[in-house]
């Protein structure tokens, strides 16, 4: 019987304030602190804290037979540390059980597509953060929204990672099942775990949908589906956001009770649970897959159109990453932190016109429309570039002063030696 590999992703962006052209050069406060605080505290108490408590209880109750993996994005962790440190403490309690694997990521950005150097910098910083906060050295990686292609796997191998999570899209798998361990065609040392798209979507997309022909989704029904899928499979990868608790499925939807019962029912049916690192050790590679074009877990096309589908998004992302080398050259910690945060992929998604008509997108974006999101973001980038220019001028002036000082030293030394020699000659005379 197969193993169930649960993966919960936690990501929350910093909300940007309405930043107009009149703010340029006047202040560099890009975040809306009031909205960030209110939003994170609401999410913490309605979703993340209850979810963490439930999952921790299930791990302890089943003495590690129930286990899973988790990824916390850098912006989310920073928000939790600033406004709700109890969430961080809860995540640390999960890590302390040694039955929860924390999966590495970057800064929930698209850096890999535009700057490998920037991506690797973020990856190293994230690994250090995971070791500092959760006392784990990650060997498994998930990218922003499970974005993946062959080049991504090759890069991860060079950075010392052995496991990568990706989307099990139909056009990549073809006739094959996502319920096995795969390897990239040209990178045989990397192990790929592909999301079971249907069973994952049943949890976050259809569970509370009363128009669904399988509603209501009971524990016994879902466990039976997993057991059936596991009869001729190795690993069933169930990847979703942790806000499936309380946000995607409201408190009165019954989802908390569903997840409280699910581990026991699955274990009774002969299914087991595994973290990604355990799954790739437990099962051998079934086949290799070749993914030339980028894929993601975007629910519509499984591509990158939600972030790069229109001219506004492309204009913004090219402006952003055109500043990369200048930021690296300055190595200013404040500018580097702001640059990292400005790469959060949500800022591009809020410019999307693809989903603007949907109720879900209007709730997710703090802006009234894509144009407002674009204008705000471009104003912020313009101010950020002004700060870069000021820092570059200050650095150039500092270097110039140092060079003038260094060039003056030999002349002063020569004059000093000349005076000393003259004094010596006078004494001899």
* Domain co-membership, 249 together with 344: no
Separation between Cα atoms, residue 148 and residue 153, nearest integer Å: 8
* Domain co-membership, 195 together with 323: no
Domain that includes residue 65, residue range = 3-289
* Domain co-membership, 83 together with 118: yes
Q: How many CB atoms lie within 10 A of CB 187?
A: 20
Say if 416 falls within a structural domain.
no
Say if 360 falls within a structural domain.
yes
* Domain co-membership, 247 together with 320: no
**282 has a pLDDT exceeding 60:** yes
* Domain co-membership, 96 together with 229: yes
Closest CA to 177 of 237, 223, 227: 237
The whole-number pLDDT of residue 188 equals 92
Taking only the tens place, the pLDDT of each residue in 125-141 is 999 999 999 999 999 99
Contact yes or no for 326/288 (Cβ under 8 A) = no
* Domain co-membership, 196 together with 260: yes
> For the residues of 26-66, what is the DSSP string, one character each?
T----B-HHHHHHHHHHHIIIIIHHHHHHHHHHHHHTTTSS
Q: Are strands 191-195 and 181-184 parallel, antiparallel or unpaired?
A: antiparallel
Mean pLDDT of the chain: 93
Q: Which residues, listed in sequence order, are joined to residue 4 by a DSSP beta bridge? A: 236, 273
Q: State mean pLDDT over 104-110.
A: 94
Q: How many CB atoms lie within 10 A of CB 221?
A: 11
Q: Which H or E run contains 403?
A: helix 370-428
* Domain co-membership, 320 together with 272: no
Separation between Cα atoms, residue 54 and residue 8, nearest integer Å: 13
* Domain co-membership, 278 together with 325: no
Say if 180 falls within a structural domain.
yes
Taking only the tens place, the pLDDT of each residue in 306-325 is 999 999 999 999 999 999 99
Question: Among the three residues 289, 318, 335, which one is the final residue of a domain in this structure?
Answer: 289
* Angstrom distances, CA of residue 141 to CA of 73, 192, 279, 322: 12, 10, 14, 26
CATH classification of the domain holding 45: 3.20.110.20
HEC string of 280-341 equals HHHCCEEEEECCCCCECCCCCCCCCHHHHCCHHHHHHHHHHHHCHHHHHHHCCHHHHHHHHH
The whole-number pLDDT of residue 105 equals 94
Say if 420 falls within a structural domain.
no
Say if 247 falls within a structural domain.
yes
The whole-number pLDDT of residue 233 equals 96
* Domain co-membership, 15 together with 153: yes
* Domain co-membership, 166 together with 131: yes
Indicate the pLDDT class of residue 171, thresholds 50, 70 and 90. confident
Say if 413 falls within a structural domain.
no
Q: What is the count of structural domains for the chain?
A: 2
* Domain co-membership, 280 together with 352: no
Separation between Cα atoms, residue 56 and residue 61, nearest integer Å: 8
**Which tokens hold the place of 34?**
């009031």
The whole-number pLDDT of residue 361 equals 45
Taking only the tens place, the pLDDT of each residue in 54-75 is 999 999 999 999 999 999 999 9
**45 has a pLDDT exceeding 80:** yes
Say if 425 falls within a structural domain.
no
**Which tokens hold the place of 190?**
């990397």
Lowest mean pLDDT among 110-114, 159-163, 172-176, 378-382: 172-176
Taking only the tens place, the pLDDT of each residue in 185-204 is 989 999 999 999 999 999 99
**362 has a pLDDT exceeding 50:** no
Indicate the pLDDT class of residue 122, thresholds 50, 70 and 90. very high
* Domain co-membership, 59 together with 191: yes
Measured in whole angstroms, how far is the alpha carbon of residue 20 from the centre of its chain? 28
**Which tokens hold the place of 36?**
């960030």
Say if 296 falls within a structural domain.
no
């Amino acid at each position: 019987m197969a193993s169930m590999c649960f993966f919960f992703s936690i990501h929350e962006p910093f909300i940007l304030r309405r930043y107009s052209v009149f703010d340029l050069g006047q202040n560099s406060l890009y975040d809306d602190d009031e909205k960030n605080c209110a939003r994170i505290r609401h999410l913490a108490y309605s979703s993340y804290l209850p979810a963490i408590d439930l999952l921790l209880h299930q791990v302890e109750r089943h003495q590690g037979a129930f286990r899973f993996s988790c990824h916390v994005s850098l912006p989310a962790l920073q928000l939790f540390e600033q406004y709700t440190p109890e969430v961080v403490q809860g995540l640390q309690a999960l890590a302390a059980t040694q039955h929860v694997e924390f999966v590495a990521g970057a800064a929930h950005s698209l850096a890999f597509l535009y700057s490998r150097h920037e991506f690797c910098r973020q990856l190293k910083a994230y690994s250090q953060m995971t070791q500092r906060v959760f006392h784990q050295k990650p060997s498994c990686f998930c990218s922003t929204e499970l974005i993946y292609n062959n080049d991504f796997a090759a890069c991860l191998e060079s950075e010392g990672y052995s496991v990568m999570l990706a989307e099990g899209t139909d056009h990549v798998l073809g006739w094959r099942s996502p319920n096995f361990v795969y390897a990239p065609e040209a990178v045989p040392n990397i192990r790929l775990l592909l999301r079971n798209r249907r069973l994952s979507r049943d949890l976050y997309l259809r569970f509370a949908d009363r128009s669904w022909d399988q509603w209501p989704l009971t524990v016994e029904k879902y466990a039976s589906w997993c057991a059936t899928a596991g009869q001729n499979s190795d690993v069933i990868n169930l990847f979703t956001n942790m806000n499936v608790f309380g946000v995607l499925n409201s408190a009165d939807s019954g989802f908390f009770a569903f997840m409280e019962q699910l581990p026991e029912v699955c274990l009774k049916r002969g299914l087991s649970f595994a973290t990604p690192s355990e799954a790739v050790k437990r099962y051998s590679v079934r086949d290799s897959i070749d993914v030339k074009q980028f894929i993601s877990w975007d629910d519509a096309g499984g591509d990158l159109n939600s972030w790069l589908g229109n001219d506004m998004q492309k204009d913004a992302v090219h402006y952003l990453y055109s500043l990369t080398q200048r930021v690296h050259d300055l190595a200013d910690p404040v500018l580097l932190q702001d640059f990292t945060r400005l790469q959060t992929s949500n800022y591009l998604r809020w410019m999307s016109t693809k989903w603007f008509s949907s109720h879900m997108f209007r709730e997710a974006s703090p802006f009234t429309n894509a144009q407002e999101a674009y204008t705000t973001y471009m104003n912020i980038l313009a101010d950020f570039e002004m700060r870069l220019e000021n820092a570059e001028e200050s650095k150039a002036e500092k270097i110039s002063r140092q060079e003038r000082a260094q060039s003056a030293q030999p002349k002063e030394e020569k004059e000093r030696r000349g005076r000393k020699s003259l004094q010596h000659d006078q004494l001899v005379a």
